[in-house]
Amino acid sequence: MKSKHSNGKMSAAARIEAVEIDLTSKRICVTGGAGFLGSFLVQSLRDAGCTDVFVVEHSDYDLTKESDVKRLFEDARPEVLFHLAAVVGGIGANQENPGSFFYANAVMGIQLLEYARRFAVEKSIVIGTVCSYPNLAPIPFREESLWDGYPEVTNAPYGIAKKILLVQCQAYREQYGMNAVYLLPGNIYGPRDNFDPASSHVIPAMIRNMLEAKARKKSEIVCWGDGSPTREFLYVEDAAKGIVKAAQRYEGAAPVNLGSGEEISIKDLAELVAQLCEFQGKIVWDASKPNGQPRRKLDTTRAERYFGFRAETPLRRGLDATIAWYKGLSAVSA
């Protein structure tokens, strides 16, 4: 017999109607708050009137060390915890670091949730990943499918490390009454993304490659795989707003997708990025490199129903903003 939460189905506990909480009166702690998504979340919280926001930086706290996690809670004394800190990367980075990605992401989350329990944090919002879904989950990905298979092998250790935090959230809710919610965002992109060629995801990698190829008058660029996989992309500002809405309005045990609901093939994405970057060279596909998961598209019904979230930024507009930001960064760095 399956656990009432194990397959992501909405139990009675998950269907609780939340009374909107006033975040402006709370002491808030954001792990990963100086990072890509975290910096936008901190800004969204401040835009919403939150003034007591403790931003956790890796240089101050190594969240893989229990002593640092304990010190963090002693310093911040949070009433609301957002856990965004993660060790992430594209397909290549995941292939090169499966063990360290698994360990760091699992141990950070497990320790943070345990200390959130010990310090009686009122609400914890944990950010998972679309990489946790089974490799061949039916499209669109519904939260009920989360446990119906093994993730795509190139990022499975990372995806599983993040998914075990859902189990912890639900287990602690059941045993200790802990108010912990778990969100599953799609592929996030936007200004301030990671453009490091060794660890970047597909959109920043394409933007950097195409702009550099254009500047150097190269006739072609090489992209991994055959271009056939599909992805759903969520603009970072939309993701941050969705996380804030969930913190304000959602009290359920069941995981919730955050996405745009729009699916695009990697081939079509490359052509769109090339157009926006004004790169007129040839796009060569290296089929010897892995494609990753065949398709990704999220069912976003639950987020809209339970806390009124719907993504607002079309892909083209978000790409324009991301390209403009990177061009500005490149100009400053030159």
Return the CATH number at 179.
Answer: 3.40.50.720
Based on the structure, what is the number of domains in the chain?
2
CB 310 within 8 A of CB 245: no
Residue 224, in any domain of the structure = yes
Q: What is the DSSP letter of 49?
A: T
Residue 119, in any domain of the structure = yes
Banded model confidence at residue 147, pLDDT cuts 50, 70, 90: very high
Same domain, 84 and 216: no
According to the model, what pLDDT value does residue 7 have? 45
Instruction: Say if residue 116's pLDDT is above 50.
Output: yes
Q: Please, where are the H alpha helices in 145-286?
A: 156-176, 202-215, 236-249, 266-277
pLDDT digits (tens, 9 = 90+) for 175-199: 999 999 999 999 999 999 999 988 8
Residue 219, in any domain of the structure = yes
Instruction: Say if residue 305's pLDDT is above 90.
Output: yes
What's the Cα-to-Cα distance from 279 to each of 97, 125, 207, 329, rounded to whole Å?
Answer: 32, 40, 10, 19
Banded model confidence at residue 167, pLDDT cuts 50, 70, 90: very high
Residues with a catalytic annotation lie at 158
Burial of 86 (C-beta count, 10 Å sphere; 0-12/13-18/19+): buried
Instruction: Say if residue 323's pLDDT is above 70.
Output: yes
Find the CATH number of the domain harbouring 210.
Answer: 3.90.25.10
Banded model confidence at residue 331, pLDDT cuts 50, 70, 90: low
DSSP 201-220: -HHHHHHHHHHHHHHTT-SE
Distance CA 333, CA 72 (A): 34
Distance CA 156, CA 160 (A): 6
What residue numbers bound the domain in which 28 lies?
A: 13-190+233-262+299-307
More confident site: 68 or 16? 68
According to the model, what pLDDT value does residue 6 have? 42
The average pLDDT across 7-19 equals 47
According to the model, what pLDDT value does residue 172 have? 98
According to the model, what pLDDT value does residue 148 have? 97
Residue 195, in any domain of the structure = no
Residue 4, in any domain of the structure = no
According to the model, what pLDDT value does residue 16 have? 46
Residue 115, in any domain of the structure = yes
Same domain, 103 and 168: yes
Distance CA 44, CA 240 (A): 6
Instruction: Say if residue 287's pLDDT is above 90.
Output: yes
pLDDT digits (tens, 9 = 90+) for 251-281: 999 999 999 999 999 999 999 999 999 999 9
Same domain, 217 and 171: no
pLDDT digits (tens, 9 = 90+) for 194-239: 999 888 999 999 999 999 999 999 999 999 999 999 999 999 999 9
Same domain, 172 and 240: yes
Same domain, 154 and 220: no
Q: Which residues contact 193 (CB under 8 A, 6 or more apart)?
A: 36, 200, 201, 203, 204, 236, 322
Neighbours of 92 (CB within 10 A): 17
Instruction: Say if residue 33's pLDDT is above 50.
Output: yes
Distance CA 16, CA 18 (A): 6
**What's at 145, amino acid-wise?**
S
Distance CA 310, CA 71 (A): 37
**What's at 309, amino acid-wise?**
F
The overall average pLDDT reported for the chain is: 93
The average pLDDT across 106-127 equals 98
Q: Which residues contact 6 (CB under 8 A, 6 or more apart)?
A: 147
pLDDT digits (tens, 9 = 90+) for 291-301: 999 999 999 99
Distance CA 128, CA 123 (A): 16
Residue 3, in any domain of the structure = no
Same domain, 221 and 110: no
Instruction: Say if residue 10's pLDDT is above 60.
Output: no
pTM of the full structure = 0.92
Banded model confidence at residue 94, pLDDT cuts 50, 70, 90: confident
According to the model, what pLDDT value does residue 2 have? 37
Residue 5, in any domain of the structure = no
